[in-house]
Amino acid sequence: MNRLQITGVLSVLLFIFSCKDKEKVMGKATEKRPNIVLILADDMGYSDLGCYGGEISTPNIDDLAYGGIRFTNFYNAARCCPTRASLLTGVYPHQAGVGRMVYGDYGGAYQGFLNRTSVTLAEVLKEAGYKTMMSGKWHVGHKESQQWPTGRGFDRFYGINIHVDSYWKVLEDCDVYLDGKLHIPATDDPQNDLHPRQDWYTTDVFTDYGMHFLNQEVAEAQDDDRPFFLYMAYNAPHFPLEAPDVDIAKYQGKYLGGWDKLREEKHRRMKEMGIIAQHTILSPPDNVNWHSLSIEDRENLDFRRAIYAAQIDRMDQNIGRLVAHLKQIGEYENTLILFLSDNGCSAETDMFGMNWDKYKKHNYEVWKEESGWSVSQGQAWANVSNVPFRRYKRYTHEGGTATPLIAHWPNKIKTGGGINTSTGHIVDIMATLVEVAGTDYPQQYHGNQITSLEGKSLLPLLENDQREGHQYIFWEHLGHRAVRKGDWKLVAVNAQPWELYDLGEDPTELNNLVDVRPELVIELQKAYFAWAEKTGVREVPLKKE
Instruction: Give the catalytic positions in this structure.
Output: 80, 139
Helices (H) and strands (E) in the chain, counts: 15, 17
Are the C-beta atoms of 312 and 58 separated by less than 8 Å? yes
CA atoms of 115 and 117, how far apart (whole Å): 6
Are the C-beta atoms of 355 and 363 separated by less than 8 Å? no
Q: What is Dmax (Cα atoms) for the chain?
A: 106
Rg (CA), the chain: 25
**Measuring CA to CA, which residue among 501, 520, 526 is closest to residue 511?**
501
CA atoms of 359 and 366, how far apart (whole Å): 8
CA atoms of 174 and 163, how far apart (whole Å): 7
CA atoms of 31 and 357, how far apart (whole Å): 60
Element holding 4 (H helix, E strand): helix 3-30
Are the C-beta atoms of 440 and 430 separated by less than 8 Å? no
Are the C-beta atoms of 396 and 473 separated by less than 8 Å? no
Are the C-beta atoms of 29 and 286 separated by less than 8 Å? no
Are the C-beta atoms of 411 and 331 separated by less than 8 Å? no
CA atoms of 355 and 463, how far apart (whole Å): 48
Helical segments of 348-448, H only:
364-369, 379-385, 398-401, 428-436
